[in-house]
Amino acid sequence: MKKVKFIYNPFSGENVILEQLDNVIKIHQEYGYSIVPYRIDKESDVGEALDCIDDKYYYILIAGGDGTVDSVVNAMKERNINLPIGILPVGTANDFARFIGIPHDVGKACVQILESEPKQVDIGRINQKYFVNVASTGLFTDVSQKTDANLKNTIGKLAYYLKGIEQLPNFRKLKVKITSKEFEYDGHMYLMLVFNGQTAGNFKLATNANVTDGYLDVIVFKAVSIKDLIPLFIKVLRGEHQDSSKVIYYKTKELMIETLEDIATDIDGERGPDFPLHIECVKGGIEVLGIKQ
């Protein structure tokens, strides 16, 4: 039997994966694969899960949200491990898995992964770290980092929204300088996102994103007057924000972001690096199983 390294986060989402462990093993055995599990612990380095990888392993199966996938991909890159990955979307936020068409049902996701061929997809690199879905900075970008894990497991995505409301008193415009081949901006903004995927927190923002085109989709929400915020938010809900003069949306392979503001960065729900930021698309940077696009 070929081996599959199964890395699962028992704290993701509503702990769904804990009820599905036997099902994951059963389905893989039916397809002729042996599962070798590794349980992510809050105190352990996820890279330890990859120490035993050899040529007997067919792929790496990751059960968790975007942050878990991000952590495993970074550990793989650090160790030059080029195996395909499969994703079981059991986290609070599963934006990237949803984008590539992975079912929420664990059993169906396993079958879809096992009956597919690996495809090369792009990933992003921000300074020396990688991201699979989105890198962001500005207001509210560290909401996921500040949201209690138990609260996320109890009330899901609502926990993010509640934490975001807590940060409203800090609402202010931010001065940034963005430099790229296609576009330059030196001005004020509220929020900036650099997408490899399409959605963040279930909001479909990067409507033109393609995970195999070798480009990242950059979205900047400019600082606008309070009276313009509600109409802009309505445009976001309708997916019409890309046509707004209050929003910058373009594609690029590489960009620089500079600021003197004291603001956080976020990559797939985890803390990102400090400024200045050099962000680039790594075309075909990883192989993924189960893609339906």
Find the mean pLDDT for residues 237-258.
85
With b for 16 or more beta-carbon neighbours within 10 A and e for fewer, the 184-209 pattern comes to: ebeeebbbbbbbbbbbbbeebbbeeb
Label residue 1 by pLDDT band (50, 70, 90): confident
| Paired residues of 228 in beta bridges | none
In a domain, 290, yes or no: no
Instruction: Identify the CATH number of the domain in which residue 95 sits.
Output: 3.40.50.10330
In a domain, 292, yes or no: no
To the query of whether residue 270 is one of the catalytic residues in this protein, the response is yes
Same domain, 26 and 145: no
Residue 282: Cβ-neighbour burial (10 angstroms; 0-12, 13-18, 19+): middle
Same domain, 135 and 280: yes
Spatial distance between the Cα atoms of 70 and 212, rounded to a whole number of angstroms: 18
Label residue 129 by pLDDT band (50, 70, 90): very high
Same domain, 261 and 133: yes
Same domain, 153 and 211: yes
Instruction: Identify the CATH number of the domain in which residue 210 sits.
Output: 2.60.200.40
Tokens of 68: 């878990």
Q: Give the tens place of pLDDT for each residue, 80-128.
A: 999 999 999 998 779 999 999 999 999 999 999 999 999 999 999 999 9
In a domain, 293, yes or no: no
For strand 2-8 and strand 247-252, is the pairing parallel, antiparallel, or unpaired?
Answer: unpaired
Neighbour tally for 35: CB within 10 Å:
17
Same domain, 151 and 112: no
Same domain, 72 and 145: no
pLDDT, greater one: 248 or 293: 248
- Which of 67, 93, 121 is at the close of a domain? 121
Spatial distance between the Cα atoms of 89 and 64, rounded to a whole number of angstroms: 6
For strand 184-195 and strand 134-138, is the pairing parallel, antiparallel, or unpaired?
Answer: antiparallel
Total domain count, the chain: 2
Q: Which of 30, 254, 270, 280 is catalytic?
A: 270
Structural domain range at position 176: 129-285
- Which of 121, 149, 173 is at the close of a domain? 121
In a domain, 187, yes or no: yes
Same domain, 78 and 133: no
Label residue 231 by pLDDT band (50, 70, 90): confident
Label residue 203 by pLDDT band (50, 70, 90): confident
pLDDT of residue 293: 64
Same domain, 114 and 218: no
With b for 16 or more beta-carbon neighbours within 10 A and e for fewer, the 59-94 pattern comes to: bbbbbbbbbbbbbbbbbbbeeebebbbbbbbbbbbb
Same domain, 113 and 142: no
Cβ–Cβ < 8 Å for 34, 27: no
In a domain, 276, yes or no: yes
In a domain, 291, yes or no: no
Spatial distance between the Cα atoms of 75 and 71, rounded to a whole number of angstroms: 6
pLDDT of residue 161: 41
Query: What CA dihedral angle connects 264, 11, 108 and 47, to 10 degrees?
Result: 70
Same domain, 141 and 276: yes
Same domain, 108 and 147: no
In a domain, 248, yes or no: yes
Neighbour tally for 273: CB within 10 Å:
14
Same domain, 206 and 228: yes
In a domain, 246, yes or no: yes
pLDDT, greater one: 50 or 230: 50
- Which of 99, 121, 143 is at the close of a domain? 121
